[in-house]
Structure 1
Amino acid sequence: MGVVEDLGDDLAQRTLAAMEEIGDDRFYFQVAKVIGASSPTLEEAFLTAMRVRLAAARGRKFLDDALKARRGGGPIPLPPPDGAGAAAV
């Protein structure tokens, strides 16, 4: 990755940890606003990293839930309909 992507991803990882500690799953919008005031390029890299990491977390949760259900003898859950559960970024 380039320096902008590296910085955006590092900040995304730190922001995800802060969101968990703060208890606000939308906190990253505030971070993006602060970044965007100085560097729209870094803001976009940060938001891309956030979207990718949030999507990966949702995917891992769905996979874990499906395996847990299957191992428990229950039906595998259906994925949400298109667009449902996606963060608005």
Structure 2
Amino acid sequence: MGVVEDLADGLARDVLAAQGELDDDRFFEKVSKVLGDLSPTTQEAFMTAIRVRLAEKRGREFMEKSLRAKRGQGVAPVAPRGPDTGH
């Protein structure tokens, strides 16, 4: 990664960690606006890092719930229907 991506990803990690302490699950949007005022390039790299990290977290949670259900420790989650499902 380049300097912009490295800095933006580091900030994204820190912001996502801080959200719990701040009790504000949309805090990243405020940080994004601060970045956008000075550097739209950094803002976009930050938002990409946020989206990737949130998607990875959601995917990991889905996998873990599925594995727990398979092991008899809960109900399997239902995957969201995408536009390619035909219905």
TM range (shorter): 0.7 to 0.9
Q: TM-score, normalised by structure 1?
A: 0.86
**Residue 31 (structure 1) aligns with:** 31
Q: CA RMSD in A?
A: 1.6
Q: Count residues with an aligned counterpart.
A: 83
- Report the Cα distance in structure 2 between the residues aligned to 1:58 and 1:12, rounded to whole angstroms: 16
Segments of 5+ residues of structure 1 without an aligned counterpart are 84-89
CA contact (8 A) 2:8 2:45 kept: yes
Q: With CA pairs under 8 Å and 6+ residues apart, which has the higher RCO, 1 or 2?
A: 1
How do 1:32-51 residues align onto structure 2 when only pairs under 5 Å count?
Answer: 32-51=32-51
Structure label with greater radius of gyration: 2
- Unpaired runs of 5+ in structure 2? none
TM, length-normalised to structure 2: 0.88
Give runs of ≥4 in structure 1 deviating > 4 Å. Answer: none
Fraction of identical pairs, as percent: 55
